[in-house]
Structure 1
């Protein structure tokens, strides 16, 4: 199956005329062979002097100050464009992560008190003890960033591995997990794969064992009742699957195809998708965030549709 004729072209018009500059540059990099330098140039607007990122790069909270969560959002984009460890933006980001890790817990603060001072979705509201709701989202991925972009025996790599050790302990002792934290572990696995031999010497688990655990948690969290998929914010197969070779494809069978077809069905006349959540507050700012998310969703879903042959 393919997407209807003209949909991608309409999406291209949307991305170039209505999406943020950051998403426009990503779209052009991914689908039009544009340079990664244009993405880095757009990212600069979101990076602060301390190396961390803010300024609403994650559209659901508008904190201008640096936060680990906003830095995670930027780090994912830097990975997407295969940014080098010597890239000044990356070096500065690594420095920020090294100085903000809570070495005792192995976690970075997922939500900061300062979030409350700026427009934000309710789930980004800080209160005492909120970290227990987030745990290693996004810390396990941030730790992998440190290992990936730090010299082998540096303080950055050392702190990254320390955090990873605590994250793996949590993972292997869980029977269920929030979908977003599972996503973080999935991305961690991709980033850390080239360092498999080091991982094996540091921990009692193999990466294969860790992968099996992550896949099992993902499968358990997925809503498998197709008739309910449009009802609210649910974990669907494609929230965890990005390529046909993913191990969950065999386990879920036709559910993956049904999810792809749902994406096609839910396209708007502009060839994009709307979000399935609302803030319930800050109505004007929410509409801005909603539009920004539409650009992000378009990139993510067209990447998946292309991987599965729906977009040639």
Structure 2
């Protein structure tokens, strides 16, 4: 097996933005996490939210909910939820929360910016499980106390309780919430009820092309709410190792509407997939 970390490092230096190169160094080369945090702050706005293409398909400077989720996942991987960015981001989320307790998928201000064509919204968008559920789950994981979290958690329980059929992106927001929320009895009951609907959104063929959502998208690390048989996970880990050995990195499998986002997503995804291999014991 080739040295996947060395190949990925070369790929990242050739293609990735500085943020993702520093993430790789912090996670796999004993680099300082402070450089990642300093770089992440460059995507932060005075309102406490994040924008500035932290989510590569949202090119505008203004804050949006989804870049906050990306920031939270980066802070999570660094075990940096003690950083002041977390609470100020919660203040931002509180400022855009709808009366039902959730934050919208995307705000109408997106219309005045360069963005991927699928980022559309009505004039008065409702709260959405994407990204409210992931945000709430991560705050619960790290024991964060903020007034926004109580209403957001209530919103997630209510919306999840209404789900019968779902989409891959919504399912990928529901799963971490159920994984991380403190009420384990309720979470396990909802997971049991929704497991079949979630699995219906999964692409099990590791060679499938297009905008497919694979088991490792739903289970990037071992979970206490396992969706998949071990054999399925191992088959997809093998496929991921093969991709990295062949290409050095991971490129997005959804439409690339302007060239720069292909590189930015490739860097983010490559570090994300290396984390998955590490979580399952495939990398040092």
For the aligned pair, the TM-score class normalised by the smaller chain equals 0.7 to 0.9
Q: Given the alignment of the two structures, is residue 121 of structure 1 paired with residue 116 of structure 2, yes or no?
A: yes
Aligned match of 1:74: 71
- Asked if structure 2 preserves the Cα contact closer than 8 Å seen for 1:144 and 1:160, the reply is no
TM-score by length of 2: 0.88
Which of 157, 161, 175 is residue 168 of structure 1 equivalent to?
157
Which of 55, 60, 63 is residue 52 of structure 2 equivalent to?
55
- Asked if structure 1 preserves the Cα contact closer than 8 Å seen for 2:137 and 2:179, the reply is no
Q: Structure 1 253/234 Cα, relative in aligned 2: closer, same or farther at 3 Å?
A: same
Q: Given the alignment of the two structures, is residue 234 of structure 1 paired with residue 221 of structure 2, yes or no?
A: no
Which of 196, 199, 206 is residue 219 of structure 1 equivalent to?
199
Supply the distance in 1 between the matched residues of 2:107 and 2:223 (Cα, whole angstroms): 37
Aligned match of 1:109: 104
TM-score by length of 1: 0.80
Tell me, which stretches of 5 or more residues in structure 2 are unaligned? none
Deviations 1:209-255 (A, max 9, x none): 2343454433232134x28x423112211111123455436x43433
Aligned match of 1:207: 187
Aligned match of 1:297: 269
* Structure 1 segment 267-306 matched on structure 2, within 5 A: 267=244, 269-279=246-256, 281=257, 286-306=258-278
Supply the distance in 2 between the matched residues of 1:300 and 1:214 (Cα, whole angstroms): 26
SS of the residue corresponding to residue 12 of structure 2 reads: helix
Aligned length: 283
SS of the residue corresponding to residue 83 of structure 1 reads: coil
Deviations 1:5-40 (A, max 9, x none): 133212112223431111111111111222221111
- How far does residue 150 in structure 1 lie from its aligned partner after superposition? 4.4
Q: Given the alignment of the two structures, is residue 177 of structure 1 paired with residue 166 of structure 2, yes or no?
A: yes
Supply the distance in 1 between the matched residues of 2:203 and 2:13 (Cα, whole angstroms): 34
Q: Structure 1 244/302 Cα, relative in aligned 2: closer, same or farther at 3 Å?
A: same
Supply the distance in 2 between the matched residues of 1:35 and 1:180 (Cα, whole angstroms): 32
- How far does residue 62 in structure 1 lie from its aligned partner after superposition? 0.6
- How far does residue 128 in structure 1 lie from its aligned partner after superposition? 4.5
Supply the distance in 2 between the matched residues of 1:146 and 1:274 (Cα, whole angstroms): 29
Aligned match of 1:36: 33
Aligned match of 2:240: 263
- Asked if structure 2 preserves the Cα contact closer than 8 Å seen for 1:52 and 1:96, the reply is yes
